[in-house]
Chains A and B, each alone.
Chain A
Amino acid sequence: MFYREAGDFKTSYADDSQTFPIAFDRYRYYAVLAVALGIIPFVITDYWASAILIPFLIYAIAAIGLNILTGYCGQVSLGTGGFMAVGAYTSYKLMTAFPGMDMVTVTLLSGAMTAMVGVMFGLPSLRIKGFYLAVATLAAQFFLVWLFNKVPWFYNYSASGQITAPERLLFGHAVTGPNAEAWVKYLFCLAFVFVLAWVARNLTRGAMGRQWMAIRDMDIAAEIIGVNPLRAKLSAFAVSSFYVGVAGALLFTVYLGAVEVGEAYGIQKSFLVLFMIIIGGLGSLFGSFAGAAFMVLLPVALKVLLVDTMGWDTALATHFQFVIVGGLIMFFLIVEPHGLARLWSLAKEKLRLWPFPH
């Protein structure tokens, strides 16, 4: 089994635009899928689920969402945290108002609600560009967090101001609440990741994706060749916010269980997701996964290394994390703006030609 495209002839345009044009990639993808579905659910422990796998899956969705907006359509948003909060509070209101509603519907509706809010805050993108827009999205971030903090209807007038996810079953197993088992939560999130990543791939390889990228690369030229900038930008905001909303909802219902909005969905979260796509690679779906994995693993790795092994103070490890993350962001922007995904594809390019590069 070689990493080659030679001998793997495409006889139709449909074949040529498939997701993994190289056979080896396809097999590896099936292998990853087999492990994710066939092995991990049976061996997963609570620690692995809560420290690594579930946050990885959820942040991967958020990163794909932001990457659609920023990496593909070129509109930088610092409002990701606020939009995730919209997803979380929508799911909370739906779960409490309609106890019979199943979690898939709840999560999808949360995404849809976030998409609408996203479009609203995306409207200024028609007039405002570049970092002006980035700063303008801060308005969404601060306003939304304030809203969920100050209007008691959103947290059902609870005394603490927190929201807590009630227990909900799916196929007879608890997905949310304290009794949900690790493997159920994992599979629930995995299903969303699988479908949403596939949809994102479809959107980005077709007409929609080309409109987005055209706007990103040169908006004026895009408009002159026939791209409606309003439609292109707002659809990017809508799709992106849908993903971010789903991630926000899952983060609350499945992962955290109880949430205080300023803490869980503050501006730090916006930066976290932005860093994922910078480190992973702007405009790359694979990069969204790589970035999410990196940002989830880094604190765990630092904790294991500095705190557990060397016995350092936890605060000190956190400070190091800041230095490393900040340093890496600058490093990637200087050396490889396309992030880990680019490094990966460079390696693949080499491998494709190996051992006869000329």
Chain B
Amino acid sequence: MPDQLIFAMEVTLNGLLNGVMYALVALGFVLIFKASGIFNYAQGVMALFAAMTLVGIQQGRVPFGHLINEIFGTDIHYFGWEVPALAAILLTALVMIGFAILAQRFVFRHLVGQEPIILFMATIGLAYFLEGVSDLMWGSEIRNLDVGLPQGINDSIDAVTFNLFGYGFFIDNLDITAAIVATVLVAGLIAFAQYTKQGRAMRAVADDHQAALSVGIKLNYVWVLVWSLAGIVALVAGIMWGSKSGVQFSLSLIALKALPVLMLGGFTSIPGAIIGGLIIGVGEALFEFAIGPMIGGATENWFAYVLALVFLVFRPQGLFGEKIIERV
């Protein structure tokens, strides 16, 4: 087999695993969008905030320490204890639920019935707000996140591919873990939406707010639930990306990567988010591999968007979205 083809296979495999990560972030978007019609730009910042909070809790940092020191002239930074990873994750999940309640209570409850584009812009505001809060709470330095996920090259894949092609593929254990976690999470969410009472309520609200309200579903409750779920998806995404490349501002930009995924997959489709994620992951990896060197590289900055843009012109509802019928 020619070398180029073998490299391309490795690139594709890595692209697929990356695509799973994109799909994971995209999933958070789909959840909120389906249940409330809100296109949540803040999803990425939520992942950043979740990861920052997790690290902060793990290391026993004092929230708003920087601010307190500045105001009172004190010099406190740590509580002096360390919290085990699992407990820290659970505590962070609680924080995300708290955030969901606050966001619903103070912002989105007041925006019910607004045009989607207004809601979208409100979430951009929320993203800025949350980013500021995150920086105030935990500082804006780059942090290492380690909850004990396996890292580094996967030896068995390396060995198997070496035997097959005479060239060992470099596949990171973390990517494999992320793919597994994402799959489990997606399966869990689908099961939740299909088979539980809350899930049914969620789908009913997604279909028609008014009708759901009239059969006695509490809208507020469902929306808080959905925002909480999105917060937990953000936490998982934050852990994965954070373990991979550290917790820093650029983590929030990953959310932007999920946007073209959604445009491909359609905003309302969970399978769409997954397949869209995989297409983007593989597509941008292969494009960078094949064309990137010729035109200066770093094409993954824009490839996904341009692909989605071109695609949308021909199919505005995405791959799996419902067909848009215009009426007057």
Contacts and interface: CB of A to CB of B under 8 A. Distances in A.
Question: Do any beta carbons of A and B sit within 8 angstroms of each other in the complex?
Answer: yes
Interface of A: 76, 123-124, 127-132, 134-136, 138-139, 142-143, 145-146, 149-151, 220-221, 224, 267, 271, 274, 278, 312-313, 315-316, 318-330, 333-334, 337
B106 to A, nearest CB: 8
Contacts, number: 139
7 contacts: A124-B312, A127-B314, A131-B39, A135-B305, A139-B305, A278-B121, A322-B129
A271 B312 contact: no
A321 B256 contact: no
B306 A143 contact: yes
Nearest to A128: B312
B66 interface: yes
Nearest to B130: A326
B305 A132 contact: no
A139 B306 contact: yes
A334 B110 contact: yes
A325 B128 contact: yes
B328 A128 contact: no
Contact of B132 (A143, A149, A321): A321
Contact of A138 (B128, B256, B316): B256
Given A128-B316, A129-B316, 16 more contacts: A76-B117, A123-B313, A124-B313, A128-B313, A139-B308, A149-B298, A224-B328, A274-B124, A322-B132, A322-B135, A324-B132, A326-B125, A327-B125, A330-B107, A330-B125, A334-B110
A-B pairs with the 5 shortest C-beta distances?
A326-B129, A329-B125, A322-B132, A326-B128, A323-B132
Given A139-B302, A220-B326, A278-B121, A330 B129 contact: yes
A135 B117 CA distance: 11
B224 to A, nearest CB: 17
Contacts of B306: 139, 143
Interface string B287-322: 000000001111101100110110011101000000
Contacts of A143: 302, 305-306
B165 to A, nearest CB: 32
A320 B132 contact: yes
A94 B295 CA distance: 24
Chain A CB count within 10 A is highest, among B67, B133, B136, B305, for B305
B216 to A, nearest CB: 27
Contact of B111 (A145, A150, A324, A334): A334
B312 A136 contact: yes
B70 A313 contact: yes
A136 B316 CA distance: 11
Contact of B301 (A130, A146, A220): A146
B301 A139 contact: no
Interface residues of B, number: 49
B140 interface: yes
B309 A271 contact: no
B326 A319 contact: no
A321 to B, nearest CB: 7
A79 B301 CA distance: 14
Contacts of A329: 121-122, 124-125, 128-129
B124 A124 contact: no
Contact of B127 (A136, A146, A319, A326): A326
Interface of B: 39, 66-67, 70, 107, 110-111, 114, 116-118, 120-122, 124-133, 135-136, 140, 256, 259-260, 262-263, 295-299, 301-302, 305-306, 308-309, 312-314, 316, 326, 328
A138 B313 contact: no
B129 A337 contact: no
A130 B313 contact: no
Contacts of B67: 316
Nearest to A152: B296
A7 B66 CA distance: 61
A274 B132 CA distance: 18
Contacts of B122: 329-330, 333-334
Nearest to B253: A267
Contacts of A128: 312-313, 316
B238 to A, nearest CB: 19
Contacts of B259: 135, 138
Chain A CB count within 10 A is highest, among B117, B262, B299, for B117
Contacts of B129: 322-323, 325-327, 329-330
Contacts of A326: 125-132
B107 A130 contact: no
A196 B215 CA distance: 55
A325 B127 CA distance: 10
B132 A131 contact: no
A157 B290 CA distance: 25
B284 to A, nearest CB: 12
Contacts of B309: 124, 136, 139
B50 to A, nearest CB: 17
Contacts of B107: 330, 334
Nearest to A311: B70
A81 B300 CA distance: 19
Nearest to A306: B70
A64 B118 CA distance: 19
A322 B49 CA distance: 14
A131 B116 contact: yes
Contacts of A323: 128-129, 132-133, 136
A134 B120 contact: yes
A130 B39 CA distance: 11
Contact of B136 (A123, A139, A319, A330): A319
A121 to B, nearest CB: 8
A150 B127 contact: no
